[in-house]
């Protein structure tokens, strides 16, 4: 009889940004494998939400958040009965747990690579935390070749032999038009508009894009919808600029409302200075949108020549390119099926399980 292997998945970032999406999708795939007994490590204040999402899975509680240095010792007794401990994000790791194999996912090295933006102190702390995680992990998953190359560069190739690249997948959100469509409320029913999905974190570069668009709003033949927490943008952008008629801030929206924007938009703008992967890129492809994205290495790895690129520092020619696209006779419904077929959560889950247990 086959003995089930015991796997503990650290879920302290569940329902939290892109890493939360990654964790959620990985759980949904891994629990399908009958030779694994899966349990979830969570903070105590997550219990209600996690039980609603995964009613049949046993939970393991901890008092400590992922950056608490008590993780070095005080969670060890919770891990000792498991064969594998899977950590899908940066965290303070247990120093030593006999017999337990630790597998970590590294998404990006943004604070290290952009230390001039995030600060040298933050970059150094991030580098040290990641070094501890790399040393503690038996195996490491990088979500792109770009992330693997960054790990190799910043840690001098010391961990290359235990790094595998396993790509993310496209998240197929709800595809039905919701009755509370925001199009009417924002007077967009007959408008041509593009969307930006982001926040005020420096590497997302949304603030700089907004400032560029505000300075050149007289050239617009379209509206630009910025989807993200409104308060964050109000602290960074002058209120007078926010009231520009061609730039509209939605604030935080539901998944259903976001789908409405994807389905009704004419194009998608992705201005990031740095990403480890970039899930919104695949989401925009899933909805067949024309994509204007930063000319950065990771986007070229994922999308190749299928999308249009611009300089994320100067934005030179971006508005002209959008206007030309909107006013030309070129097809307005793009197909990215050949790209999307490479990135599925089924494949991500399958490759992850094989890498963990073999």
Q: How far apart are alpha carbons 231 and 251 in whole angstroms?
A: 8
Residue keyed to tokens 């290495």: 297
Residue 234 is predicted with a pLDDT of 47
Alpha-carbon distance 89 to 105, whole Å? 6
Q: How far apart are the C-alpha atoms of 227 and 253, rounded to whole Å?
A: 7
DSSP string, 117-140: HH-HHHHHHHHHHHHHHHHH-SEE
Task: Give the HSE-up count for residue 348: Cα atoms under 13 Å, Cβ half-sphere.
Answer: 26
* Inter-CA distances, 105 with 10, 12, 130, 293, Å: 11, 14, 11, 25
**Residue 176 and residue 181: Cα distance in Å, rounded?**
11
Supply 117's token pair: 């933006």
Determine the angle formed by the axes of helices 17-30 and 345-357, rounding to 10 degrees: 70
d(CA 159, CA 90): 16
Local structure of 224: helix, strand or coil: strand
Question: What is residue 95's predicted lDDT score, i.e. its pLDDT?
Answer: 84
- One digit per residue, pLDDT tens: the chain, 358 residues? 467 999 999 999 998 878 999 999 999 999 999 999 999 999 999 999 999 989 889 999 999 999 999 999 888 889 999 999 999 999 999 988 889 999 999 999 999 999 999 999 999 999 999 999 999 999 999 999 999 999 999 999 999 999 999 999 997 654 555 555 666 566 565 578 999 998 888 899 998 998 898 888 888 888 899 988 766 554 455 544 454 578 888 888 888 888 889 989 999 999 999 999 999 999 999 999 999 999 999 999 999 999 999 999 999 999 999 999 999 877 667 889 999 999 999 999 999 999 999 8
Contact 277, 298 (CB under 8 A): yes
Q: What per-residue confidence (pLDDT) applies to 216? A: 87
What is the set of domains in the chain, with CATH numbers? Answer: 5-169+343-357 (3.40.50.2000), 173-341 (3.40.50.2000)
**Phi then psi for 148, rounded to 5 degrees?**
-60, -45
C-beta separation of 294 from 273 below 8 A: yes
d(CA 248, CA 225) in angstroms, rounded, equals 5
Q: Cα–Cα distance between 144 and 320 in angstroms, integer? A: 32
Q: Are 258 and 198 in contact, with CB atoms under 8 Å apart?
A: no
- Residue 268's pLDDT is 97
Residues in the chain: 358
- The alpha helices in the chain, defined as continuous H runs, are 17-30, 47-53, 76-79, 110-113, 115-118, 120-136, 145-154, 182-185, 206-215, 230-234, 239-242, 255-264, 279-286, 297-303, 318-327, 337-340, 345-357
Q: How far apart are CA 259 and CA 250, in angstroms?
A: 14
**pLDDT, position 250:** 85
Quick check: pTM over 0.85? Answer: yes
Task: Assign 3-class secondary structure to 20-67.
Answer: HHHHHHHHHHHCCCCCEEEEEEEEHHHHHHHHHHCCCCEEEEECCCCC
User: What are residue 46's phi and psi, to 5 degrees?
Assistant: -90, -10
Number of H helices, E strands in the chain: 17, 13
Let me know: does 318 contact 292? Beta carbons within 8 Å: yes
């Amino acid at each position: 009889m086959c003995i089930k292997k015991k796997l503990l998945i650290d879920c302290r970032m569940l329902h939290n940004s892109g890493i939360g999406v990654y964790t959620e999708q990985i759980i949904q795939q891994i629990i399908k494998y009958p030779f694994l007994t899966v349990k979830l490590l969570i903070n105590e204040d997550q219990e209600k939400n996690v039980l609603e999402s995964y009613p049949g899975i046993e939970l393991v509680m901890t008092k400590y958040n992922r950056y608490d240095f008590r993780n070095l010792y005080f969670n060890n007794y919770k891990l000792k009965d498991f064969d594998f401990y899977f950590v899908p994000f940066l965290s303070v790791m247990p120093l030593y747990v006999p017999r337990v194999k630790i597998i970590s996912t590294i998404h990006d090295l943004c604070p290290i690579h952009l230390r001039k933006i995030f600060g040298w102190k933050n970059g150094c702390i991030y580098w040290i935390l990641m070094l501890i995680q790399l040393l503690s992990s038996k195996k490491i998953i990088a979500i792109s070749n770009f992330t693997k190359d960054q790990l190799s560069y910043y840690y001098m190739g010391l961990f290359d032999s235990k790094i595998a690249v396993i790509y993310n997948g496209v998240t197929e959100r709800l595809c039905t038009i919701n009755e509370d469509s925001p199009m009417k409320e924002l007077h967009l029913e007959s408008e041509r508009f593009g969307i930006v999905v982001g926040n005020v974190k420096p590497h997302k570069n949304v603030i700089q894009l907004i400032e560029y668009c505000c300075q050149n709003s007289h050239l617009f033949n379209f509206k630009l919808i910025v989807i993200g927490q409104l308060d964050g943008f109000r602290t960074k952008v002058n209120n007078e600029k926010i009231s520009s008629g061609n730039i509209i801030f939605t604030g935080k929206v539901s998944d259903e409302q976001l789908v409405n924007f994807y389905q009704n938009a004419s194009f998608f703008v992705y201005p990031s200075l740095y990403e480890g992967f970039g899930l919104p890129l695949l989401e925009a492809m899933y909805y067949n949108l024309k994509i204007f994205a930063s000319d950065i290495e990771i986007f070229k790895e994922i999308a190749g020549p299928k999308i249009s690129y611009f300089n994320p520092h100067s934005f030179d020619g971006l508005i002209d390119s959008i206007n030309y696209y909107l006013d030309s006779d070129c097809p307005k419904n793009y197909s990215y099926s050949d790209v999307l077929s490479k990135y599925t959560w089924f494949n991500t889950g399958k490759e992850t399980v094989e890498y963990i247990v073999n």
